[in-house]
Amino acid sequence: MNNNPKPNTFDNVFRTIAQKMPFMMVALINEAFGEHYPDNVKYTQLRNEFITENGKIITDSIFLIKDKYYHIECQSNPDSTMEIRMIEYDFMIAHEHAKKEKGAYVIRFPESAVLYLRHKKSTPDNLKVIVKMPNGESIDYETKVIKAQNYTKDEIFQKKLLILVPFYLMRYESMFSKMDKDYEKRLSFLKECEDLRIRLEKEVGNKEALYADLINLIIKVSNHMLENHKEVKKGVKDVMGGKVLELSSEKLIKKGRAEGRAEEKNEITKNIRNNLKKQHPDWDEARINAETEMLIKAI
């Protein structure tokens, strides 16, 4: 049975971060498994596609840090099949990296966790499968659970869990209908959005590209949630994107243009100097420089 459900917007955003901004996974790994890896720890992002008899299975993220494997899946809602799916995925990961040691194959299961973007009061802190072995022994196979909405804004930034920032506004979705009709409630929510943006800008510092990427992901998630809430959607876009995102993008564009102009100018200067040397082999270096500078100003 192929248990891979079709990814939704939330899953796609998580996979985008895991695949294109994998450095952000380190803090989540630290939080989930009690590790203390520094931000610059070396990691290997492993293949996350497995072909089975029933089709392709794609996991969200698999990382190797030092000699330990880490597997984290993201779910927008608790799923009653998740325990079985996790042990299935973990076995495939362990099988993929099996090694023969002293005449016997050894398979090492990864450290495993599920990130729930939403959860209920009944959602457990660990998912458990009881594995009964042929010899009568039983193994409790447990998968850790991370509940995104349990983390306050302060905790997210203190623990550098920037991977949770795009999903932060999900905790308010039950109030969106009221916000559409109630200006005061909407204004309070938009102030919260603005504070999130300011905190994010401060946290990433001069990393304009990272800031712009995360803002875009926040807007992508909020657009999906607010499809039927036009007033709130417009407010979030203005606060989270709008002029702020344009300014961030403009910085990158201006930087690129400046670098491009400098590179172009260097190439033109080089060509002019070479041509002058060929045409006037008797000119000294000072004359070449002076004539080159004059020609550059005339362009």
The CB density around residue 57, as the number of other CB atoms within 10 Å, is 17
User: Do both 175 and 144 map to the same domain?
Assistant: no
Domains held by the chain: number? 2
CB 72 within 8 A of CB 60: yes
In this prediction, residue 244 has a pLDDT band, given cuts at 50, 70 and 90, of very low
CA distances from 14 to 156, 202, 221, 273 (A): 16, 22, 10, 52
Q: Are residues 19 and 135 in the same domain?
A: yes
Domain boundary among 115, 150, 185: 150
> Is 132 in the same domain as 52?
yes
Q: Label each residue of 150-184 as H, E or C.
A: HCCHHHHHHCCCHHHHHHHHHHHHHHHHHHHHCHH
The model's pLDDT over 29-57, given as tens digits with 9 standing for 90+, comes to: 999 999 999 999 999 988 666 555 555 56
Mean pLDDT of 218-247: 81
* Dist. CA 266–CA 260, nearest whole Å: 10
d(CA 239, CA 140): 47
CB of 113 within 8 A of CB of 72?
yes
pLDDT, position 247: 45
242 and 101 share one domain: no
Mean pLDDT on 292-297: 66
Same domain, 144 and 171: no
Residue ending a domain, choose from 103, 122, 150? 150
Q: Are residues 47 and 106 in the same domain?
A: yes
Among 128, 150, 172, residue at a domain's last position = 150
Identify the pLDDT of residue 116: 95
Same domain (yes/no): 65, 52:
yes
Local structure of 185: helix, strand or coil: helix
The pTM of this model reads: 0.75
pLDDT tens-place string over residues 163-209:
999 999 999 999 999 998 899 999 999 999 999 999 999 999 888 88
Same domain membership, residue 138 and residue 173: no
Is residue 132 located within the same domain as residue 245?
Answer: no
Mean pLDDT of the chain: 84
**Within this chain, do residues 146 and 1 fall inside the same structural domain, yes or no?**
yes
